[in-house]
Amino acid sequence: MNDPDHDAEELARLLRDAFASGAALSHWPSSVVPASAEGAYRVQQQLLQLRGQRAGGWKVGAKSGTGPIKGAPLPADGIQASPARLGRARAVGLELEIAFRFGRAFAPSNRSYPSDEVIGGLASFCAAIEVVASRFAGWPDVDPLLQLADLQNHGALVVGSFIDYDGGFAFASPSLRFGFNGHDIATDRPANPAGDPRRLLAWAVNHCTTRGLRFEEGTIVTTGSYTGLHLVQGSGTAEGQIAGLPPVRLSLD
């Protein structure tokens, strides 16, 4: 009989080694594929522990304004300030997002924090570029639960300069520009599929606190792409500008 705890630890070790080596996984035991989202979230936490990393942030997203939310912790060593320079991963995609930073902590609790209390804890926000990368050679044709365990295909997060939180900002569909090597890579009608991305924030906080984890002051939460995923070919520089926010820049070697 399979041991779910052993299987989760084995997958976390495989992912830890892939992070360290940069080599994509082409084979893995079928037993390590999580049976549920909860199993994938367990792998995420074990992966951070094995890498000796704390969660400096979270990525959260939803495919519609009412659809289910999922997310992943962001290792602190993968969050960089703009302008940033990174080596190009085996498979890289770029997304332009809005990231929020919290000005208070949330203690572990048996109750869920209401959305208005969570939003009331926001201190600042910024434009951000998420680098999408996978530890699996077959990506994107990989079991969704393996992708979730793999920090939901997270490679790195580049954050622009933060400004004070403004509740009146046009979060659902701000005016923006996103380019790579001078070529426009934004969609024709940029918008966050989750609608107002602030609806995702309570999920991130409560995902931690109801599992006995403290959501620390200063935690950054990035909330899904306004531009879709752009697959990068070769090296170059990505520049994003969301109206009302400082620009964000990433160079890939």
pLDDT one-digit tens code per residue, 213-227 = 999 999 999 999 999
Q: Where are the domains of the chain?
A: 57-252
Rounded to whole angstroms, what are the CA distances from 94 to 97, 133, 151, 175, 226? 10, 9, 16, 18, 11
For the ranges 64-68, 90-94, 95-99, the one whose mean pLDDT is highest? 95-99
DSSP 113: P
Answer whether 122's CB lies under 8 Å from 100's CB.
yes
φ, ψ of residue 104 in degrees (nearest 5): -150, 165
For residue 1, pLDDT beyond 60:
no
Q: 57-252 is classed in which CATH architecture? A: Alpha-Beta Complex (3.90)
Supply the pTM of this predicted model.
Answer: 0.95
